[in-house]
Amino acid sequence: MKKKLQSLIQETFKKLNITLPEVVIELPKEESFGDLATPVAMPLSKILKRPPRKIAEEIINSFEEKDIFENIEIAGPGFINFTFSKSYLYSEIKNLIKDSTGFLRNNIGKGERVHIEFVSANPTGPLHLGHGRGAAVGAALSNLLEAGGYKVEREYYINDAGKQVKLLGLSVFARYKNLLDIDYPVPDDGYKGDYIGDIAQAIVRENGKRYSDAAFEDVADFFTDFSYKLMLKTVAQDLKAFGIIFDMWQSERELYENNDVKKAIDDLKIHGYIYEKDGAVWFRATDFEDDKDRVIIKQDGEYTYFTSDIAYHRKKIEKKFDELIDIWGADHHGYIPRIQAVIQALGYPKESLKVLLVQMVTLLRGGKPVQMSKRAGEFVTLKEVLDEVGADTTKFIFLTRRPDSHLEFDLEVAKAQSAENPVFYVQYANARINSIFAHAKEQGIRIEKLEEADFSLLSAPEELRIIKKLLSYPMVFEGAVIAHEPHRITFYLQELAGMFHPYYHKYKVVTDDVNLTAARLALCEAIRIVLRDGFEILGLSAPERM
Protein backbone atom coordinates (compact mmCIF):
# COMPACT_ATOMS: atom_id res chain seq x y z
CA MET A 1 0.00 0.00 0.00
CA LYS A 2 2.73 2.41 1.04
CA LYS A 3 5.17 1.25 -1.58
CA LYS A 4 2.59 1.66 -4.27
CA LEU A 5 1.88 5.23 -3.26
CA GLN A 6 5.53 6.01 -2.85
CA SER A 7 6.36 4.93 -6.35
CA LEU A 8 3.41 6.86 -7.74
CA ILE A 9 4.61 10.03 -6.10
CA GLN A 10 8.14 9.46 -7.28
CA GLU A 11 6.92 9.06 -10.85
CA THR A 12 5.15 12.33 -10.51
CA PHE A 13 8.27 14.00 -9.23
CA LYS A 14 10.14 12.80 -12.25
CA LYS A 15 7.59 14.41 -14.49
CA LEU A 16 7.70 17.68 -12.58
CA ASN A 17 11.48 17.63 -12.35
CA ILE A 18 11.47 17.57 -8.57
CA THR A 19 14.12 15.77 -6.55
CA LEU A 20 13.60 14.83 -2.96
CA PRO A 21 15.68 12.16 -1.23
CA GLU A 22 12.81 10.50 0.52
CA VAL A 23 9.08 10.52 0.09
CA VAL A 24 7.59 10.43 3.56
CA ILE A 25 4.32 8.56 3.81
CA GLU A 26 2.48 8.37 7.09
CA LEU A 27 -0.63 6.92 8.59
CA PRO A 28 -2.78 9.89 9.52
CA LYS A 29 -3.96 9.83 13.06
CA GLU A 30 -7.45 10.78 12.14
CA GLU A 31 -9.62 8.82 9.74
CA SER A 32 -11.04 11.93 8.12
CA PHE A 33 -7.55 12.60 6.82
CA GLY A 34 -7.70 9.58 4.54
CA ASP A 35 -5.81 6.30 4.56
CA LEU A 36 -2.32 7.58 3.88
CA ALA A 37 -0.88 11.06 3.79
CA THR A 38 2.26 12.81 2.76
CA PRO A 39 3.63 16.14 3.91
CA VAL A 40 6.08 16.39 0.97
CA ALA A 41 4.64 19.64 -0.33
CA MET A 42 5.66 21.46 2.83
CA PRO A 43 9.44 20.98 2.73
CA LEU A 44 9.26 21.45 -1.04
CA SER A 45 7.72 24.85 -0.66
CA LYS A 46 10.98 26.10 0.77
CA ILE A 47 13.01 24.79 -2.14
CA LEU A 48 10.61 25.81 -4.88
CA LYS A 49 9.61 29.05 -3.21
CA ARG A 50 5.97 28.46 -3.82
CA PRO A 51 3.12 27.91 -1.36
CA PRO A 52 2.77 24.26 -0.28
CA ARG A 53 -0.87 23.94 -1.25
CA LYS A 54 -0.02 25.08 -4.77
CA ILE A 55 2.70 22.44 -5.03
CA ALA A 56 0.39 19.78 -3.69
CA GLU A 57 -2.07 20.68 -6.40
CA GLU A 58 0.54 20.27 -9.13
CA ILE A 59 1.53 16.90 -7.76
CA ILE A 60 -2.03 15.68 -7.76
CA ASN A 61 -2.72 16.99 -11.23
CA SER A 62 0.05 15.01 -12.80
CA PHE A 63 -0.88 11.77 -11.07
CA GLU A 64 -1.19 8.82 -13.43
CA GLU A 65 -3.05 6.03 -11.74
CA LYS A 66 -5.95 7.72 -10.08
CA ASP A 67 -8.33 4.78 -10.20
CA ILE A 68 -6.91 3.08 -7.12
CA PHE A 69 -7.99 6.10 -5.12
CA GLU A 70 -11.43 7.09 -4.10
CA ASN A 71 -10.29 10.53 -3.15
CA ILE A 72 -7.16 12.69 -3.06
CA GLU A 73 -7.30 15.98 -1.29
CA ILE A 74 -5.15 18.76 -0.01
CA ALA A 75 -5.64 19.56 3.62
CA GLY A 76 -4.29 21.69 6.41
CA PRO A 77 -1.06 23.52 5.70
CA GLY A 78 -0.30 21.32 2.68
CA PHE A 79 -0.83 17.66 3.42
CA ILE A 80 -1.95 15.45 0.59
CA ASN A 81 -4.43 12.90 1.86
CA PHE A 82 -5.13 9.74 -0.07
CA THR A 83 -8.18 7.57 0.31
CA PHE A 84 -8.00 4.26 -1.48
CA SER A 85 -10.86 2.88 -3.53
CA LYS A 86 -12.72 -0.07 -2.10
CA SER A 87 -11.81 -2.28 -5.00
CA TYR A 88 -8.14 -1.66 -4.32
CA LEU A 89 -8.61 -2.48 -0.62
CA TYR A 90 -10.43 -5.70 -1.51
CA SER A 91 -7.72 -6.82 -3.88
CA GLU A 92 -5.08 -6.10 -1.25
CA ILE A 93 -6.83 -8.01 1.52
CA LYS A 94 -7.18 -10.89 -0.89
CA ASN A 95 -3.42 -10.83 -1.42
CA LEU A 96 -2.91 -10.86 2.32
CA ILE A 97 -4.85 -14.10 2.66
CA LYS A 98 -3.40 -15.71 -0.44
CA ASP A 99 0.23 -15.09 0.41
CA SER A 100 0.39 -13.95 4.00
CA THR A 101 4.13 -14.04 4.54
CA GLY A 102 4.76 -12.34 1.24
CA PHE A 103 2.30 -9.66 2.12
CA LEU A 104 3.16 -9.07 5.75
CA ARG A 105 6.89 -9.50 5.79
CA ASN A 106 9.03 -6.83 4.37
CA ASN A 107 12.56 -7.92 3.59
CA ILE A 108 14.33 -4.94 5.09
CA GLY A 109 17.40 -6.78 6.33
CA LYS A 110 18.12 -8.46 3.02
CA GLY A 111 19.93 -11.26 4.76
CA GLU A 112 22.27 -9.06 6.77
CA ARG A 113 23.69 -10.76 9.85
CA VAL A 114 22.86 -9.37 13.26
CA HIS A 115 24.32 -10.50 16.54
CA ILE A 116 22.31 -9.80 19.66
CA GLU A 117 23.73 -10.44 23.10
CA PHE A 118 21.27 -10.27 25.95
CA VAL A 119 20.54 -11.37 29.53
CA SER A 120 24.12 -12.57 30.19
CA ALA A 121 23.48 -12.59 33.92
CA ASN A 122 26.25 -13.92 36.12
CA PRO A 123 25.65 -17.56 37.00
CA THR A 124 25.97 -16.70 40.68
CA GLY A 125 22.27 -16.46 41.45
CA PRO A 126 18.81 -16.87 39.98
CA LEU A 127 17.46 -14.46 37.40
CA HIS A 128 15.40 -11.59 38.71
CA LEU A 129 12.78 -9.46 37.02
CA GLY A 130 15.28 -7.03 35.54
CA HIS A 131 16.89 -9.90 33.66
CA GLY A 132 13.40 -10.89 32.59
CA ARG A 133 12.87 -7.52 30.99
CA GLY A 134 16.12 -7.80 29.09
CA ALA A 135 15.15 -11.30 28.04
CA ALA A 136 11.72 -10.29 26.78
CA VAL A 137 13.07 -7.31 24.88
CA GLY A 138 16.04 -9.18 23.48
CA ALA A 139 13.97 -12.11 22.31
CA ALA A 140 11.28 -9.92 20.77
CA LEU A 141 13.86 -7.75 19.02
CA SER A 142 15.56 -10.87 17.69
CA ASN A 143 12.30 -12.25 16.38
CA LEU A 144 11.36 -8.90 14.91
CA LEU A 145 14.62 -8.51 13.00
CA GLU A 146 14.49 -12.11 11.86
CA ALA A 147 11.00 -11.54 10.53
CA GLY A 148 12.34 -8.42 8.85
CA GLY A 149 14.80 -10.38 6.78
CA TYR A 150 17.88 -10.35 9.00
CA LYS A 151 19.88 -13.37 9.97
CA VAL A 152 19.98 -13.19 13.74
CA GLU A 153 22.25 -14.86 16.25
CA ARG A 154 21.13 -14.72 19.87
CA GLU A 155 23.88 -15.11 22.40
CA TYR A 156 24.24 -15.37 26.16
CA TYR A 157 27.63 -14.47 27.57
CA ILE A 158 28.49 -16.55 30.61
CA ASN A 159 30.73 -14.98 33.24
CA ASP A 160 32.10 -18.28 34.43
CA ALA A 161 35.58 -16.98 35.17
CA GLY A 162 36.90 -14.68 37.83
CA LYS A 163 36.22 -13.65 41.34
CA GLN A 164 32.45 -13.83 41.47
CA VAL A 165 32.00 -17.47 40.53
CA LYS A 166 34.80 -18.33 42.92
CA LEU A 167 32.99 -16.44 45.64
CA LEU A 168 29.89 -18.44 44.77
CA GLY A 169 31.96 -21.60 45.23
CA LEU A 170 33.18 -20.40 48.61
CA SER A 171 29.67 -19.45 49.72
CA VAL A 172 28.46 -22.93 48.83
CA PHE A 173 31.46 -24.49 50.49
CA ALA A 174 30.67 -22.69 53.76
CA ARG A 175 27.07 -23.81 53.59
CA TYR A 176 28.14 -27.36 52.82
CA LYS A 177 30.26 -27.42 55.97
CA ASN A 178 27.40 -25.98 57.99
CA LEU A 179 25.08 -28.65 56.68
CA LEU A 180 27.49 -31.23 58.08
CA ASP A 181 27.48 -29.38 61.41
CA ILE A 182 30.96 -28.08 60.91
CA ASP A 183 31.68 -24.55 61.96
CA TYR A 184 32.80 -22.48 59.00
CA PRO A 185 32.50 -18.74 58.49
CA VAL A 186 30.27 -17.54 55.70
CA PRO A 187 32.17 -14.86 53.78
CA ASP A 188 30.95 -11.33 54.47
CA ASP A 189 30.60 -10.42 50.83
CA GLY A 190 29.43 -13.91 49.92
CA TYR A 191 26.15 -15.02 48.42
CA LYS A 192 23.42 -15.70 50.92
CA GLY A 193 20.18 -16.71 49.27
CA ASP A 194 18.33 -19.95 49.88
CA TYR A 195 19.62 -21.24 46.58
CA ILE A 196 23.10 -21.48 48.13
CA GLY A 197 21.69 -24.03 50.55
CA ASP A 198 20.05 -25.89 47.67
CA ILE A 199 23.35 -26.19 45.86
CA ALA A 200 25.13 -27.30 49.05
CA GLN A 201 22.47 -29.92 49.61
CA ALA A 202 22.90 -31.23 46.09
CA ILE A 203 26.59 -31.68 46.86
CA VAL A 204 25.75 -33.52 50.06
CA ARG A 205 23.40 -35.76 48.13
CA GLU A 206 25.98 -36.64 45.51
CA ASN A 207 29.14 -36.68 47.57
CA GLY A 208 28.13 -37.05 51.18
CA LYS A 209 30.88 -36.10 53.59
CA ARG A 210 33.70 -36.50 51.12
CA TYR A 211 34.76 -32.85 51.49
CA SER A 212 34.04 -32.47 55.20
CA ASP A 213 37.69 -32.12 56.20
CA ALA A 214 38.93 -30.38 53.08
CA ALA A 215 40.29 -26.87 52.98
CA PHE A 216 38.63 -24.62 50.42
CA GLU A 217 41.84 -24.05 48.46
CA ASP A 218 42.04 -27.75 47.72
CA VAL A 219 38.48 -28.16 46.51
CA ALA A 220 37.79 -24.66 45.17
CA ASP A 221 37.58 -25.79 41.57
CA PHE A 222 35.11 -28.51 42.33
CA PHE A 223 32.83 -26.31 44.42
CA THR A 224 33.02 -23.40 42.01
CA ASP A 225 32.35 -25.46 38.92
CA PHE A 226 29.62 -27.52 40.48
CA SER A 227 27.89 -24.42 41.79
CA TYR A 228 27.92 -22.22 38.74
CA LYS A 229 27.04 -25.08 36.45
CA LEU A 230 24.03 -25.92 38.53
CA MET A 231 23.12 -22.24 38.65
CA LEU A 232 23.46 -21.94 34.92
CA LYS A 233 21.19 -24.91 34.49
CA THR A 234 18.59 -23.16 36.61
CA VAL A 235 19.00 -19.97 34.59
CA ALA A 236 18.50 -21.87 31.36
CA GLN A 237 15.42 -23.57 32.79
CA ASP A 238 13.91 -20.27 33.89
CA LEU A 239 14.54 -18.77 30.47
CA LYS A 240 12.95 -21.78 28.87
CA ALA A 241 9.92 -21.35 31.10
CA PHE A 242 9.81 -17.77 29.90
CA GLY A 243 9.99 -18.97 26.32
CA ILE A 244 13.40 -17.53 25.56
CA ILE A 245 15.89 -19.42 23.44
CA PHE A 246 19.52 -18.71 22.59
CA ASP A 247 21.54 -19.86 19.63
CA MET A 248 24.86 -19.55 21.42
CA TRP A 249 26.21 -19.62 24.95
CA GLN A 250 29.64 -18.05 25.03
CA SER A 251 31.80 -18.95 28.00
CA GLU A 252 34.20 -16.40 29.42
CA ARG A 253 36.57 -19.17 30.49
CA GLU A 254 36.84 -20.36 26.95
CA LEU A 255 38.14 -16.95 25.95
CA TYR A 256 41.03 -17.50 28.34
CA GLU A 257 41.57 -21.11 27.36
CA ASN A 258 41.61 -20.33 23.65
CA ASN A 259 44.03 -17.46 24.17
CA ASP A 260 41.48 -14.94 22.95
CA VAL A 261 42.23 -12.71 25.91
CA LYS A 262 45.94 -12.73 25.29
CA LYS A 263 45.43 -12.07 21.60
CA ALA A 264 43.18 -9.14 22.37
CA ILE A 265 45.73 -7.57 24.69
CA ASP A 266 48.48 -8.05 22.11
CA ASP A 267 46.28 -6.48 19.50
CA LEU A 268 45.75 -3.39 21.64
CA LYS A 269 49.44 -3.32 22.45
CA ILE A 270 50.34 -3.22 18.77
CA HIS A 271 48.00 -0.31 18.30
CA GLY A 272 49.74 1.44 21.18
CA TYR A 273 46.93 1.66 23.68
CA ILE A 274 48.51 -0.32 26.50
CA TYR A 275 50.87 0.95 29.20
CA GLU A 276 52.08 0.03 32.67
CA LYS A 277 51.65 2.11 35.78
CA ASP A 278 51.62 1.40 39.53
CA GLY A 279 52.36 -2.23 38.91
CA ALA A 280 49.26 -2.69 36.78
CA VAL A 281 48.59 -2.81 33.05
CA TRP A 282 46.23 -0.17 31.64
CA PHE A 283 44.19 0.43 28.54
CA ARG A 284 44.31 4.03 27.36
CA ALA A 285 40.56 4.57 27.09
CA THR A 286 40.98 8.32 27.38
CA ASP A 287 42.30 8.36 23.82
CA PHE A 288 38.66 7.98 22.96
CA GLU A 289 35.67 9.28 24.84
CA ASP A 290 36.11 7.58 28.17
CA ASP A 291 36.98 9.71 31.18
CA LYS A 292 39.46 7.32 32.76
CA ASP A 293 42.03 4.80 31.63
CA ARG A 294 41.11 1.25 32.61
CA VAL A 295 43.08 -1.49 34.31
CA ILE A 296 43.23 -4.76 32.41
CA ILE A 297 45.82 -6.59 34.52
CA LYS A 298 45.76 -5.90 38.23
CA GLN A 299 48.76 -5.58 40.53
CA ASP A 300 48.22 -9.14 41.66
CA GLY A 301 48.45 -10.34 38.08
CA GLU A 302 44.73 -11.14 37.77
CA TYR A 303 42.67 -9.96 34.85
CA THR A 304 39.63 -7.78 35.34
CA TYR A 305 36.15 -8.44 34.03
CA PHE A 306 36.83 -5.77 31.43
CA THR A 307 39.79 -7.67 30.01
CA SER A 308 37.81 -10.70 28.96
CA ASP A 309 35.07 -8.42 27.73
CA ILE A 310 37.58 -6.81 25.40
CA ALA A 311 38.37 -10.25 24.05
CA TYR A 312 34.68 -11.09 23.80
CA HIS A 313 33.82 -8.01 21.79
CA ARG A 314 36.88 -8.39 19.64
CA LYS A 315 35.82 -11.90 18.84
CA LYS A 316 32.32 -10.77 17.98
CA ILE A 317 33.49 -7.94 15.80
CA GLU A 318 35.86 -10.17 13.90
CA LYS A 319 33.04 -12.45 12.94
CA LYS A 320 32.02 -9.58 10.66
CA PHE A 321 28.40 -9.24 11.55
CA ASP A 322 26.61 -6.42 9.82
CA GLU A 323 25.26 -5.29 13.14
CA LEU A 324 26.23 -5.96 16.74
CA ILE A 325 23.74 -5.26 19.50
CA ASP A 326 24.31 -5.59 23.23
CA ILE A 327 21.34 -5.35 25.54
CA TRP A 328 22.36 -4.21 29.00
CA GLY A 329 20.66 -3.20 32.18
CA ALA A 330 20.77 0.57 32.54
CA ASP A 331 22.91 0.26 35.66
CA HIS A 332 25.77 -0.66 33.34
CA HIS A 333 25.47 2.42 31.17
CA GLY A 334 28.72 3.86 32.53
CA TYR A 335 30.44 0.95 30.85
CA ILE A 336 29.53 2.07 27.33
CA PRO A 337 32.35 4.60 26.69
CA ARG A 338 34.85 2.00 27.85
CA ILE A 339 33.73 -0.73 25.51
CA GLN A 340 33.29 1.66 22.61
CA ALA A 341 36.82 2.86 23.22
CA VAL A 342 37.91 -0.72 22.73
CA ILE A 343 35.99 -1.00 19.48
CA GLN A 344 37.72 2.10 18.19
CA ALA A 345 41.12 1.07 19.48
CA LEU A 346 40.74 -2.10 17.45
CA GLY A 347 40.20 0.05 14.39
CA TYR A 348 36.45 -0.05 13.98
CA PRO A 349 33.96 2.81 14.11
CA LYS A 350 32.21 3.03 17.44
CA GLU A 351 28.85 2.59 15.72
CA SER A 352 29.86 -1.01 15.04
CA LEU A 353 28.37 -1.81 18.41
CA LYS A 354 24.96 -0.62 19.46
CA VAL A 355 24.17 -0.83 23.13
CA LEU A 356 20.50 -0.95 23.94
CA LEU A 357 19.87 -0.04 27.55
CA VAL A 358 16.95 -1.58 29.34
CA GLN A 359 15.85 0.49 32.28
CA MET A 360 15.43 -0.70 35.84
CA VAL A 361 12.38 -2.54 37.04
CA THR A 362 10.91 -1.60 40.39
CA LEU A 363 8.99 -4.48 41.86
CA LEU A 364 5.88 -3.53 43.81
CA ARG A 365 3.21 -5.43 45.61
CA GLY A 366 0.01 -3.49 46.07
CA GLY A 367 1.79 -0.19 45.50
CA LYS A 368 4.49 -0.91 48.06
CA PRO A 369 8.06 -1.56 46.92
CA VAL A 370 9.18 -5.12 47.55
CA GLN A 371 12.31 -4.93 49.64
CA MET A 372 15.15 -6.60 47.88
CA SER A 373 18.62 -7.10 49.13
CA LYS A 374 20.98 -9.13 47.07
CA ARG A 375 23.44 -9.07 49.96
CA ALA A 376 21.05 -10.76 52.31
CA GLY A 377 19.80 -12.97 49.53
CA GLU A 378 16.29 -11.61 49.77
CA PHE A 379 14.82 -11.03 46.39
CA VAL A 380 11.98 -12.11 44.18
CA THR A 381 13.16 -14.22 41.28
CA LEU A 382 11.91 -14.23 37.72
CA LYS A 383 10.70 -17.75 38.29
CA GLU A 384 8.52 -16.67 41.19
CA VAL A 385 7.00 -13.87 39.14
CA LEU A 386 6.32 -16.26 36.26
CA ASP A 387 4.65 -18.71 38.63
CA GLU A 388 2.52 -15.99 40.15
CA VAL A 389 1.72 -13.80 37.16
CA GLY A 390 2.31 -15.97 34.10
CA ALA A 391 4.78 -15.75 31.23
CA ASP A 392 2.50 -14.10 28.67
CA THR A 393 1.37 -11.36 31.02
CA THR A 394 4.90 -10.69 32.19
CA LYS A 395 6.18 -10.45 28.64
CA PHE A 396 3.32 -8.25 27.60
CA ILE A 397 4.00 -5.80 30.41
CA PHE A 398 7.62 -5.55 29.30
CA LEU A 399 6.67 -5.20 25.66
CA THR A 400 4.12 -2.44 26.07
CA ARG A 401 6.83 -0.05 27.16
CA ARG A 402 9.84 1.52 25.56
CA PRO A 403 12.98 -0.14 26.92
CA ASP A 404 14.28 3.16 28.27
CA SER A 405 11.24 3.90 30.39
CA HIS A 406 11.56 3.16 34.07
CA LEU A 407 9.14 0.41 34.83
CA GLU A 408 7.01 -0.24 37.85
CA PHE A 409 5.92 -3.84 37.99
CA ASP A 410 3.20 -4.32 40.54
CA LEU A 411 2.58 -7.99 41.24
CA GLU A 412 -0.93 -7.36 42.53
CA VAL A 413 -1.87 -5.25 39.53
CA ALA A 414 -0.38 -7.72 37.07
CA LYS A 415 -2.29 -10.53 38.73
CA ALA A 416 -5.53 -8.75 39.61
CA GLN A 417 -5.73 -7.39 36.12
CA SER A 418 -5.55 -10.89 34.84
CA ALA A 419 -9.26 -10.84 34.16
CA GLU A 420 -9.03 -7.67 32.13
CA ASN A 421 -5.41 -7.69 31.23
CA PRO A 422 -4.48 -6.27 27.82
CA VAL A 423 -2.69 -9.46 26.88
CA PHE A 424 -5.87 -11.49 27.33
CA TYR A 425 -7.83 -8.93 25.40
CA VAL A 426 -5.59 -9.50 22.42
CA GLN A 427 -5.38 -13.26 22.78
CA TYR A 428 -9.11 -13.43 23.24
CA ALA A 429 -9.63 -11.94 19.79
CA ASN A 430 -7.71 -14.85 18.33
CA ALA A 431 -9.56 -17.39 20.47
CA ARG A 432 -12.90 -15.93 19.40
CA ILE A 433 -12.00 -16.19 15.75
CA ASN A 434 -11.04 -19.80 16.28
CA SER A 435 -14.40 -20.52 17.79
CA ILE A 436 -16.14 -18.79 14.91
CA PHE A 437 -14.36 -21.13 12.55
CA ALA A 438 -15.24 -24.11 14.72
CA HIS A 439 -18.87 -23.04 14.65
CA ALA A 440 -18.79 -22.51 10.88
CA LYS A 441 -17.36 -25.95 10.38
CA GLU A 442 -20.10 -27.45 12.53
CA GLN A 443 -22.66 -25.77 10.32
CA GLY A 444 -21.11 -27.48 7.33
CA ILE A 445 -19.72 -24.30 5.88
CA ARG A 446 -16.72 -24.52 3.63
CA ILE A 447 -13.80 -22.80 5.26
CA GLU A 448 -11.19 -23.43 2.60
CA LYS A 449 -10.21 -21.16 -0.26
CA LEU A 450 -11.46 -18.11 1.52
CA GLU A 451 -9.51 -15.90 -0.85
CA GLU A 452 -12.14 -16.71 -3.45
CA ALA A 453 -14.86 -15.05 -1.42
CA ASP A 454 -16.64 -11.98 -2.73
CA PHE A 455 -14.85 -9.29 -0.74
CA SER A 456 -17.07 -6.54 -2.03
CA LEU A 457 -19.70 -7.76 0.42
CA LEU A 458 -17.51 -6.36 3.19
CA SER A 459 -18.97 -2.91 2.94
CA ALA A 460 -19.85 -2.05 6.54
CA PRO A 461 -17.81 0.87 7.89
CA GLU A 462 -16.39 -1.39 10.62
CA GLU A 463 -15.27 -3.88 8.00
CA LEU A 464 -13.54 -1.26 5.94
CA ARG A 465 -11.83 0.11 9.02
CA ILE A 466 -10.54 -3.35 9.90
CA ILE A 467 -9.35 -3.96 6.36
CA LYS A 468 -7.42 -0.69 6.38
CA LYS A 469 -5.94 -1.54 9.74
CA LEU A 470 -4.81 -4.92 8.46
CA LEU A 471 -3.29 -3.38 5.36
CA SER A 472 -1.32 -0.95 7.50
CA TYR A 473 0.42 -3.78 9.32
CA PRO A 474 3.37 -3.93 6.92
CA MET A 475 4.02 -0.24 7.56
CA VAL A 476 3.94 -0.66 11.32
CA PHE A 477 6.11 -3.72 11.00
CA GLU A 478 8.62 -1.92 8.82
CA GLY A 479 8.76 0.99 11.24
CA ALA A 480 9.30 -1.36 14.17
CA VAL A 481 12.13 -3.18 12.38
CA ILE A 482 13.93 -0.01 11.35
CA ALA A 483 13.56 1.58 14.77
CA HIS A 484 14.30 -1.73 16.52
CA GLU A 485 11.17 -1.26 18.60
CA PRO A 486 9.09 -4.41 19.18
CA HIS A 487 6.64 -2.51 21.38
CA ARG A 488 5.10 -0.94 18.30
CA ILE A 489 3.78 -4.38 17.38
CA THR A 490 2.24 -4.73 20.83
CA PHE A 491 0.30 -1.51 20.48
CA TYR A 492 -0.80 -2.37 17.00
CA LEU A 493 -2.20 -5.71 18.18
CA GLN A 494 -4.18 -3.98 20.90
CA GLU A 495 -5.65 -1.60 18.36
CA LEU A 496 -6.56 -4.40 15.99
CA ALA A 497 -8.21 -6.41 18.76
CA GLY A 498 -9.95 -3.20 19.75
CA MET A 499 -11.59 -3.14 16.31
CA PHE A 500 -12.40 -6.81 16.15
CA HIS A 501 -14.27 -7.14 19.45
CA PRO A 502 -16.85 -4.42 18.70
CA TYR A 503 -17.26 -5.84 15.21
CA TYR A 504 -17.85 -9.30 16.61
CA HIS A 505 -20.45 -7.92 18.94
CA LYS A 506 -22.32 -5.98 16.29
CA TYR A 507 -22.21 -8.38 13.34
CA LYS A 508 -22.69 -12.05 12.92
CA VAL A 509 -20.11 -13.81 10.83
CA VAL A 510 -21.89 -17.11 10.29
CA THR A 511 -25.33 -16.52 8.82
CA ASP A 512 -27.69 -18.08 6.26
CA ASP A 513 -26.20 -15.89 3.60
CA VAL A 514 -23.52 -18.16 2.17
CA ASN A 515 -21.59 -15.52 0.26
CA LEU A 516 -21.59 -13.00 3.08
CA THR A 517 -20.49 -15.69 5.51
CA ALA A 518 -17.59 -16.59 3.27
CA ALA A 519 -16.54 -12.97 2.96
CA ARG A 520 -16.67 -12.40 6.70
CA LEU A 521 -14.82 -15.62 7.42
CA ALA A 522 -12.17 -14.39 5.05
CA LEU A 523 -11.92 -11.17 7.01
CA CYS A 524 -11.60 -13.13 10.25
CA GLU A 525 -8.92 -15.25 8.66
CA ALA A 526 -6.99 -12.13 7.73
CA ILE A 527 -7.26 -10.83 11.28
CA ARG A 528 -6.12 -14.15 12.65
CA ILE A 529 -3.12 -14.21 10.32
CA VAL A 530 -1.99 -10.78 11.47
CA LEU A 531 -2.60 -11.48 15.16
CA ARG A 532 -0.59 -14.66 15.02
CA ASP A 533 2.21 -12.97 13.18
CA GLY A 534 2.39 -10.40 15.96
CA PHE A 535 2.23 -13.05 18.69
CA GLU A 536 5.07 -14.90 17.08
CA ILE A 537 7.27 -11.82 17.03
CA LEU A 538 6.50 -10.91 20.62
CA GLY A 539 6.88 -14.47 21.82
CA LEU A 540 3.33 -14.75 23.08
CA SER A 541 1.24 -17.88 22.95
CA ALA A 542 -1.91 -17.95 20.83
CA PRO A 543 -4.43 -20.03 22.79
CA GLU A 544 -7.08 -21.67 20.64
CA ARG A 545 -9.68 -21.23 23.33
CA MET A 546 -9.84 -19.28 26.54
Partner RNA sequence: GCGCCUGUAGCUCAGUUGGAUAGAGCAACUGCCUUCUAAGCAGUGGGUCAGGGGUUCGAAUCCCUUCAGGCGCGCCA
Query: Residue 39 or residue 243: which is nearer to RNA going by CB?
Result: 39
Residue environment code for 24-49, b if the CB has 16+ CB neighbours within 10 A, otherwise e: ebebbeeeebbbbbbbbbbebbeeee
CA distances from residue 103 to 151, 190, 429, 483 in whole angstroms, order as listed: 20, 55, 21, 20
Query: Residue 200 or residue 433: which is nearer to RNA going by CB?
Result: 433
Q: For the window 333-372, what string marks contact with RNA as x by the rule CB under 7 A?
A: xxx---------------------x-xx------------
Rounded Cα gap, residues 214 and 168, in angstroms: 17
Q: Is 206 in the site for RNA (CB under 7 A)?
A: no
Rounded Cα gap, residues 546 and 541, in angstroms: 12
Query: Residue 46 or residue 320: which is nearer to RNA going by CB?
Result: 46
- Output the smallest distance, CB 207 to RNA, in A: 27
Which one, of 222, 209, 217, 168, lies nearest residue 192 by Cα?
A: 168
Q: Parallel, antiparallel, or unpaired for β 323-329 and 113-117?
A: parallel
* Interface positions, 383-402, toward RNA (CB under 7 A): 400-402
Query: Residue 177 or residue 199: which is nearer to RNA going by CB?
Result: 199
- Output the smallest distance, CB 229 to RNA, in A: 16
Query: Residue 248 or residue 416: which is nearer to RNA going by CB?
Result: 416
**Site stretch for RNA (CB under 7 A), options 9-17, 199-207, 239-247, 331-339:** 331-339
Residue at 86: amino acid letter: K
Q: For the window 90-109, what string marks contact with RNA as x by the rule CB under 7 A?
A: --------------------
Query: Residue 23 or residue 202: which is nearer to RNA going by CB?
Result: 23
Query: Residue 87 or residue 299: which is nearer to RNA going by CB?
Result: 299
Q: Parallel, antiparallel, or unpaired for β 36-38 and 79-84?
A: antiparallel
Q: Is 70 helix (H, G, I), strand (E, B) or coil?
A: strand
DSSP letter (8 states) at residue 275? E
DSSP letter (8 states) at residue 378? B
Query: Residue 204 or residue 280: which is nearer to RNA going by CB?
Result: 280
* Interface positions, 111-150, toward RNA (CB under 7 A): 122
Q: At a CB cut-off of 8 Å and minimum separation 6, what does 41 contact?
A: 52, 53, 55, 56, 59, 74, 78, 79, 80
Rounded Cα gap, residues 8 and 421, in angstroms: 43
* Interface positions, 55-94, toward RNA (CB under 7 A): 75-77, 79, 81
Rounded Cα gap, residues 146 and 463, in angstroms: 31
Q: For the window 464-483, what string marks contact with RNA as x by the rule CB under 7 A?
A: ---------------x--xx
Q: Is 43 in the site for RNA (CB under 7 A)?
A: yes
**Site stretch for RNA (CB under 7 A), options 36-44, 89-97, 318-326, 529-537:** 36-44
- Output the smallest distance, CB 502 to RNA, in A: 3
How many residues form the binding site for RNA (CB under 7 A)?
96
Q: Is 34 left (phi over 0), alpha (psi -120 to 50) or beta?
A: left
**Site stretch for RNA (CB under 7 A), options 140-148, 226-234, 238-246, 437-445:** 437-445
Helices marked H in 417-513? 422-442, 461-471, 473-483, 487-506
- Output the smallest distance, CB 479 to RNA, in A: 4
Q: Is 233 in the site for RNA (CB under 7 A)?
A: no
Q: Is 446 in the site for RNA (CB under 7 A)?
A: no
Q: For the window 508-527, what string marks contact with RNA as x by the rule CB under 7 A?
A: xxx-----------------
Q: Is 164 in the site for RNA (CB under 7 A)?
A: yes
**Site stretch for RNA (CB under 7 A), options 87-95, 295-303, 319-327, 531-539:** 295-303
Question: Which residue of 184, 256, 305, 348 would you call a contact of RNA, by CB under 7 A?
Answer: 305
Helices marked H in 242-362? 252-257, 260-270, 305-318, 336-345
- Output the smallest distance, CB 212 to RNA, in A: 29
Rounded Cα gap, residues 405 and 289, in angstroms: 26
Q: Do 314 and 346 meet the contact criterion of CB atoms below 8 Å apart?
A: yes
Query: Residue 67 or residue 420: which is nearer to RNA going by CB?
Result: 420
Q: Is 163 in the site for RNA (CB under 7 A)?
A: yes
H-run or E-run covering 492: helix 487-506
Query: Residue 179 or residue 336: which is nearer to RNA going by CB?
Result: 336
Query: Residue 165 or residue 324: which is nearer to RNA going by CB?
Result: 165
CA 505, 510, 512, 514 dihedral sign is positive
Question: Which residue of 8, 9, 12, 33 would you call a contact of RNA, by CB under 7 A?
Answer: 33
- Output the smallest distance, CB 362 to RNA, in A: 8
Q: Parallel, antiparallel, or unpaired for β 294-297 and 353-358?
A: unpaired
Which one, of 160, 162, 163, 190, lies nearest residue 175 by Cα?
A: 190
* Interface positions, 405-424, toward RNA (CB under 7 A): 405-408, 413, 417-422, 424
